Amino acid sequence: MSEPRLTHVDDSGAARMVDVSAKAVTAREATAAGRVLVSPEVVALLRGEGVPKGDAIAVARIAGIAGAKRTPDLVPLCHPIALHGVRVELEVTDEAVEITATARTADRTGVEMEALTSVAVAGLTMIDMVKAVDPRASITDVRLLAKSGGKSGEWRR
């Protein structure tokens, strides 16, 4: 068995984009999550009359979808792939906004980075929407929860 190695680095240590042209096209899915820690005042506003800038949940959801679509523009070695679906869910809890994003494709490479980017951009947007009320809001725990498809098959945290 070969030793694990970084796939985006060549033998000389230079960054490279992995050649996926020989890989089979398969259905692939990835789910990521994260949270934006917010003040009790923000929680009350999100559960009630809303924050001063408008519907923060709706804006963050749309931003998460747009973020997934722009992943190869933001993460230099990501392949541009055809996204076939992106779902972004936001749930207001007593201390945070929980964000979950699922991305789907049928392509030669996975959608993990698209799901992670979706969560990060939705989180950044939530902070932008609530910063006037809570300048201490922060994104935390952005992580991959699960992925499926391709040669490596299923993985779950």
Closest CA to 85 of 69, 71, 68, 103: 103
**Residues forming the active site:** 128
Residue 56 forms part of a structural domain: yes
pLDDT confidence bin for 127, thresholds 50/70/90: very high
Which has the higher per-residue pLDDT, 15 or 127?
Answer: 127
Mean pLDDT of 1-19: 77
pLDDT at 2: 61
Residue 7 forms part of a structural domain: no
Residue 16 forms part of a structural domain: no
Our count of domains for the chain comes to: 1
Q: Is 74 annotated as a binding residue?
A: no
pLDDT at 114: 98
Which strands make up the sheet holding 26-37, listed edge to edge? 83-92, 96-107, 26-37, 138-148, 155-156
Q: Is 8 annotated as a binding residue?
A: no
Eight-state DSSP code of residue 112: H
52 exposed, middle or buried (CB, 10 Å; 0-12, 13-18, 19+)?
A: exposed
DSSP string covering 9-72, please?
A: B-TTS-B-----TTSPPEEEEEEEEEEEE--HHHHHHHHTT-BTTB-HHHHHHHHHHHHHHTHH
Query: Is residue 133's pLDDT more than 90?
Result: yes
User: Is 27:150 a contact under the CB 8 Å cutoff?
Assistant: no
The CATH code of the domain that includes 119 is: 3.30.70.640
Q: Which percentage of the chain shows pLDDT scores above 90?
A: 78
pLDDT at 21: 85
Q: Is 114 annotated as a binding residue?
A: yes
13 contacts: CB under 8 Å, gap ≥ 6: none
Residue 129 forms part of a structural domain: yes
pLDDT at 1: 54
Residue 154 forms part of a structural domain: no
Residue 1 forms part of a structural domain: no
Residue 153 forms part of a structural domain: no
pLDDT at 19: 84
Residue 10 forms part of a structural domain: no
Compute CA 152 distance to the chain's CA centroid, rounded to the nearest angstrom.
20
CA distances from 140 to 25, 35, 83, 96 (A): 33, 5, 26, 10
Q: Is 144 annotated as a binding residue?
A: no
Range of the domain at 76: 29-145
Residue-wise pLDDT tens digits, 12-69? 888 888 888 888 899 999 999 999 999 999 999 999 988 888 899 999 999 999 999 9
